[in-house]
Amino acid sequence: MDDLKLVFNNKSPMISVGSANFGQGLVLIAGPCSVESETQVRKVVDGIYGRAHILRGGAFKPRTSPYDFQGIGLEGLKILNSVRETIPVISEVLDVRDLPIVSEMVDIIQIGSRNMQNFPLLKEVGKLKKPVLLKRGMQATIEEWLSAAEYILYEGNPNVILCERGIRTFESYTRNTLDLNAVVAVKQKTNLPVIVDPSHGTGRSELVTNLSLAAVAAGADGLIIEVHPDPKNSVSDKEQALSPGEFNTLSEKAKALRCFLESASL
């Protein structure tokens, strides 16, 4: 890991997006796996408003099967853009050709797990100043994940936020195995903010709240949670989606735990 000079020596600027300051307090990001319609997005915004700092929503979706829903693309970006006066938004860029339009329409650019080692894409987001959420590849070691961050920093963008989203293991009860070891290790070794995605990390809605609390206890700087106004009818990842009410309960518990840890100086 010795050649990760920028990751290890980075002083990490405060990354501020709307009311969220990554690295200071607990940042909560919530929203649907996929942007489906304006009505759906507005219902989510109403449901999470005042609890989440940032809205998530996939417009371009990376799907394992070419026959699965691929996202509504540009139309989805426009819907996200239309709520930015109310709440900042994050969305994934899949293809380097879409980067100009995605970066214009979102507040944080997401690099998904499947693109963590798409080096041309990492270099291009590195040339921007916009914050980048770098999700860990599902089969990436911590060193490979940090090397991907190094690519972005090397191009001059210091605004990198890391996201642990679970890795592949032999366990098949859960979609992935949330690797909280990595959160603690990366927080100890670097100054980069690290957030956790227990939705993809577990793939099971009934596990999301407790794994969120475990992530807070591990020192995560934030959480990104899939929330849908009608989870069982979500067009993607319905098994892991929370309702707005469930998210709000989660947010209260997570904030209370964070508060307790801070006041106890743990």
Site for Mn ion in 215-244 (CB under 5 A): 237
Neighbours of 61 (CB within 10 A): 21
Instruction: Look at residue 92 and give the partner it binds from Mn ion, ligand PEP, none, a contact being a CB closer than 5 to 8 Å depending on partner kind.
Output: ligand PEP
The string over 140-166, giving b where at least 16 C-beta atoms fall within 10 Å of a residue's C-beta and e elsewhere, is bebeebbbbbbbbbeeebbbbbbbbbb
Q: Are 224 and 108 in contact (CB under 8 A)?
A: no
Instruction: Look at residue 36 and give the partner it binds from Mn ion, ligand PEP, none, a contact being a CB closer than 5 to 8 Å depending on partner kind.
Output: none
Cβ distance to ligand PEP smaller for residue 51 or 165:
165
Report the alpha-carbon distance of residue 35 to residue 30 in Å, rounded: 12
Q: Which helix (H) or strand (E) holds 135?
A: strand 132-135
- Per the structure block, which two tokens stand in for 40? 């759906």
Cβ distance to Mn ion smaller for residue 164 or 237:
237
In whole angstroms, how close is the CB of 120 to ligand PEP at the nearest point?
Answer: 18
What residue ranges bind ligand PEP (CB under 6 A)? 33, 58, 62, 92, 112-113, 135, 165, 200
- Which residue sits closest to ligand PEP, CB atoms considered? 112
Instruction: Look at residue 131 and give the partner it binds from ligand PEP, Mn ion, none, a contact being a CB closer than 5 to 8 Å depending on partner kind.
Output: none
Which of 17, 20, 28, 33 lies at the binding interface for Mn ion (CB under 5 A)? 33
CA nearest 174: which of 200, 196, 197?
200
Cβ distance to ligand PEP smaller for residue 25 or 62:
62
